[in-house]
Structure 1
Amino acid sequence: MDLQLKGKVAFITGGSMGIGKAAALELAREGVDVAIAARRLHHLEEAAAELRQMLATQPGAGRVLPVVVDTTDMTTIEAAMAATAEAFGGIDILVNGAAHPGGLVRSELAEADPQGLLQDIDIKVVGYFRCAKAVAPYMRRRGYGRIVNIGGLTGRGSKQLSGMRNVAIVHMTKTLSDQLGPDGITVNTIHPGVVETPHIHELYEKEAQKQGLTAAAVESNYVKATPIRRVLQPEEMGWIIAFLASPRSGSITGESLGCDGGLTRGIFL
């Protein structure tokens, strides 16, 4: 399927690694010019060099631009988006992915840090909001826009207090879809499952210490709990994001999609 993405421009926060980087690769393969945004320039430059190398043999691939952003600071967001628009002519797609992996508050109430919870919400929820607010004028000028928020399965269960940030993102997604829909802009959220990223191995180690298991045993337990019986790959999230970022997905907005291999057992109508 031709996703009709060639010539579009994407801005991806959390774009230097993991799912954000995978999304950048898939979008660029479709001919999208991509700005990857994160706080640390050296990580961005390494990621950009790696992406360019992978795209070198792809005819018609998009360009990759590293831009420094702190999603808790509106000034840096606006500056990075202005630089992206200057380099590529505008912005059509926003992928919100900048967040502390797994959340800062994963402990029980007695040990939970209120400041950590506030930081989680500032980085992820308010950070996504800041980026949506900053990008909307660019999309309105084009009469087209796609915002894809990366949520998390903790928002669909009660295991982690940090999950409330993902619940808030779902609410924001639906609200913004109402406000931006008349301008040709859709807003959706994906909830990735257990995805093979550098951060997932940190989670395995933390869970292993809490449960008195090895990291390999923790990973095995996740696999056993997943109906498709495997860990997901970052490129699988990239494929889903590329579709949601495309004109082909224009009828889908305000939705939250579990991309988890069936790990979630709840029924969401």
Structure 2
Amino acid sequence: MDLELTGRAAIVTGGGRGIGRAVARELAREGVAVAITSRTASALETAAKEIESETGGRVVPIAADTTSTASVRAMVDEAVARLGRVDVLVNGAAAPGGRVRNPVEEADPEALLDDLNTKVVGYFRCAQAVTPHMRATGYGRIINIGGLTGRASHALSGMRNLAVTHLTKALSDQLGPDGITVNVLHPGVVETEHIHELYEAEAAKRGTTAAAVEQSYIDRTPIRRVLTVEEVAETICFLASPRAAAITGESIGIDGGLTRGIFI
């Protein structure tokens, strides 16, 4: 299927590693010029060079802090200046897994506020900054990367993903008349740089091994494996395309069936 993305331009926050980096790579393969952003300039520059080498596409690194409105606006202005436009925003800049995963007595309120500021308000800042550019062309795709902890109760930081889902639906109502769709994708257990750190932390709590923790997730997943970053990235590319024009305001799990709830 031709996704009709050639000639488009995208911003991917959290694009220096993990899912964000994979998204930038897949978009570049589809002919999209991509600006990747995070706080660490050196990691972005390395990622941009490697993705350009792999895909032959154009990838520009722009360091920014999504907890700062001024930084976000400057980043979007620079991306538009360098790429000529912005058609797609993929919001993924956040602490992997959340910063507050411990019992209430041990939870740090400031860490929780930081989670919300980075992932919820940060996503909003980026969406707000790209909206005028998308409205001007009558085309836009905003894809927010949430997380399955928003559909469960085992981590206090999961509230950020629930808030992102609400933000997604509210923005889809406001921006739909302008040709802009907004959706949120909830990845399951995905093979990324940080996932093994989470296995280790969970193993320490359970008194077992990281390998046993990973296997427990695999055993609970109907497809019986961990997902790849490419699978998440390919889904995001579809949502970013004109082919997905009728999909907006949706909360979509990409988890190999791990979620057992029924969502209509």
The TM-score by the shorter chain falls in which range?
over 0.9
2:12 match: secondary structure: strand
Cα distance per residue 1:209-250 (max 9 Å; x no partner): 111111111111111110000000000011000000000000
Name the counterpart of 2:107: 112
Cα deviation, residue 119, structure 1: 0.4
Alignment of 1:189 onto 2:147:
no
The count of corresponding residues between Structure 1 and Structure 2 is 264
Q: Following superposition of structure 1 onto structure 2, how do residues 14-53 of structure 1 map, counting pairs within 5 Å?
A: 14-53=14-53
Cα deviation, residue 87, structure 1: 1.0
* Structure 2: runs of 5+ lacking an equivalent: none
2:89 match: secondary structure: strand
Match of 1:92 among 87, 94, 97: 87
Q: For 2:58 and 2:175, locate their aligned partners in 1 and report how far apart those are by CA, in whole Å.
A: 27
Alignment of 1:141 onto 2:163:
no
Name the counterpart of 1:9: 9
Amino acid at match of 2:248: T
Alignment of 1:159 onto 2:159:
no
Name the counterpart of 2:227: 232
Cα deviation, residue 75, structure 1: 1.1
Cα deviation, residue 83, structure 1: 1.0
Name the counterpart of 2:97: 102
Alignment of 1:211 onto 2:206:
yes
Amino acid at match of 1:256: S
Name the counterpart of 2:256: 261
Q: For 1:245 and 1:254, locate their aligned partners in 2 and report how far apart those are by CA, in whole Å.
A: 13
> Could you state the TM-score of these two structures normalised by the residue count of structure 2?
0.99
Q: For 2:13 and 2:33, locate their aligned partners in 1 and report how far apart those are by CA, in whole Å.
A: 14
Q: For 2:182 and 2:224, locate their aligned partners in 1 and report how far apart those are by CA, in whole Å.
A: 30
Cα deviation, residue 88, structure 1: 1.1
Alignment of 1:123 onto 2:122:
no
Q: For 1:207 and 1:179, locate their aligned partners in 2 and report how far apart those are by CA, in whole Å.
A: 40
Q: For 2:50 and 2:212, locate their aligned partners in 1 and report how far apart those are by CA, in whole Å.
A: 32
Match of 1:81 among 70, 76, 79: 76
Percent sequence identity is 62
Moved more, 237-246 or 73-82: 73-82
Cα distance per residue 1:95-114 (max 9 Å; x no partner): 00000001011011111111
Runs of 4+ in 1 over 6 A off after TM superposition: none
1:147 match: secondary structure: strand
Cα deviation, residue 44, structure 1: 0.3
